[in-house]
Amino acid sequence: MKRIGVLTSGGDSPGMNAAIRAVVRKAIYHDLEVYGISYGYAGLIAGDIRKMELGSVGDIIHRGGTMLYTARCEEFKTLEGQKKGIEQLKKFGIEGLVVIGGDGSYRGAQKLTEHGFPTIGVPGTIDNDIPGTDYTIGFDTALNTVIDAIDKIRDTATSHERTYVIEVMGRHAGDLALWSGLADGAETIVIPEADYEMNQIISRLERGQERGKKHSIIIVAEGAGSGMDFGKRISDATQMETRVTVLGHIQRGGSPTGADRVLASRLGAKAVDLLLEGEAGRTVGIQNNKLVHHDINEVLAQPHSVDLDMYKLSQELSI
């Protein structure tokens, strides 16, 4: 293999730049040529492809977002779109591809591999919802962003003795809600992977009020319902003054944490190693602090699982 490509796709996450840098530098270290594809699969179809040098990825390790930009591309879900993508890769003489993104992006990588084009997936998403890795690139940064926001809301919640409902990202996964709720001592955490009883949430709030709690924090993962809706149901049922904050896209931005930079560097470099070893249709990950790789079909066939022991702990610590 002489020439590889790299793209970022789907939702961006902090640390994608560090992963791109690792792919480019590791490839050049091994005397490969490396091409950056802008705007994910949309750029691949359009041939928005250029050669990357060592300097192309200078001064990006600490920046959020992705220097290759990202996009969602419906056309790539069709056979015709995928064929166009492969034609572009061939035109540029690219023989292997690293796709940095979430599970949707992995499905694109799976298709490329099925069509005989060696592709490796690198997990980049703040949701931490990709099987085969304990952590995805961007989760730690987003977690710290959420914690910082909740700390600030807690100050004002205490001053005003209010109940705060905070909606965090996670369309299908509750990791960000669970981890931030545990890290911030939230009274209640609502995640899509666990059933909840509104009555129990309300009686927990009332018990807290009776023992003189100054405020309550309820974290809702967006996949479990709308924060606005929760806020209304709580204020209707309890007459407590309730405020709702939807954190939104601030969770996607910001300079990646040390943990995310290191993870991105390790995973990006590992993806290049796999291509050089002749692997295809693999996804890289970290499990028990060891680099691992798995068959992309197996990864995509597995459901995401949240750590329910942690969920139970969060309930035990917020009685």
Among 111, 252, 266, 282, interactor with ligand ADP by CB under 6 A:
111
Write down how long the chain is: 319
HSE-CB of 171 using CA atoms within 13 angstroms: 7
What is the pairing mode between strands 282-287 and 290-295? antiparallel
Q: How many CB atoms lie within 10 A of CB 20?
A: 29
Residue 271 DSSP class? H
Q: Strand pairing of 242-246 and 163-168?
A: parallel
From candidates 14, 85, 101, 223, binder to ligand ADP by CB under 6 A: 101
- What tokens were used for 283? 């996804």
Min dist. Cβ of residue 55 to ligand ADP (A):
28
Please list every residue from 161 through 200 that binds ligand ADP, using CB under 6 A. Answer: none
Q: Is 141 in the site for ligand ADP (CB under 6 A)?
A: no
Where does this chain touch ligand ADP (CB under 6 A) — which range of 106-114, 144-152, 210-218, 277-285? 106-114
In the bound complex, what is the minimum distance in angstroms from residue 235's beta carbon to ligand ADP? 34
Q: Is 105 in the site for ligand ADP (CB under 6 A)?
A: yes
213 is in an annotated binding site: yes
DSSP secondary structure string for all residues of 180-209: HHHHTT-SEEE-TTS---HHHHHHHHHHHH
User: Residue 73: left (phi > 0), alpha (psi -120 to 50), or beta?
Assistant: beta
Q: Which is nearer to ligand ADP, 76 or 117 (CB)?
A: 76
50 is in an annotated binding site: no
Contacts (CB under 6 A) with ligand ADP, residues 51-80? 72-73, 76-77
Nearest-5° angle of CA 216, CA 222, CA 228?
Answer: 55
Marked catalytic residue, from 12, 48, 127, 140: 127
- Segment holding 312, helix H or strand E: helix 308-316
Shortest distance (Å) from residue 59 CB to ligand ADP:
25
Is 273 an annotated catalytic residue?
no
Taking the complex as a whole, the smallest distance from the CB of residue 111 to ligand ADP amounts, in Å, to 5
Contacts for 120 with CB less than 8 Å, ≥ 6 apart:
96, 97, 98, 99, 109, 271, 274, 275, 279, 280, 282, 283, 284, 293
261 known member of a binding site: no
Residue in 17, 56, 88, 125 binding ligand ADP, rule: CB under 6 A: 125
Position 10 contacts ligand ADP (CB under 6 A): yes
Pick between residue 77 and residue 204 the one whose CB is nearest to ligand ADP: 77
- Establish if 123 lies at the interface with ligand ADP (CB under 6 A): no
Work out the number of other CB atoms within 10 angstroms of the CB of residue 24: 26
186 annotated as a binding-site residue: yes
Q: Assess contact for 218 and 208: CB atoms under 8 A.
A: no
Q: Is 262 annotated as a binding residue?
A: no
Residues of span 216-245 touching ligand ADP by CB under 6 A: none
Q: How far apart are CA 42 and CA 166, in angstroms?
A: 34
Judged by beta carbon, residue 107 or residue 162, the one nearer ligand ADP is 107
* Active site residues per annotation: 127
- Would you list which residues are annotated within the binding site for ATP? 11, 72-73, 102-105
The footprint of ligand ADP (CB under 6 A) covers 9-11, 41, 72-73, 76-77, 101-105, 107-108, 111, 125
- Would you list which residues are annotated within the binding site? 11, 21-25, 72-73, 102-105, 125-127, 154, 162, 169-171, 185-187, 211, 213-215, 222, 243, 249-252
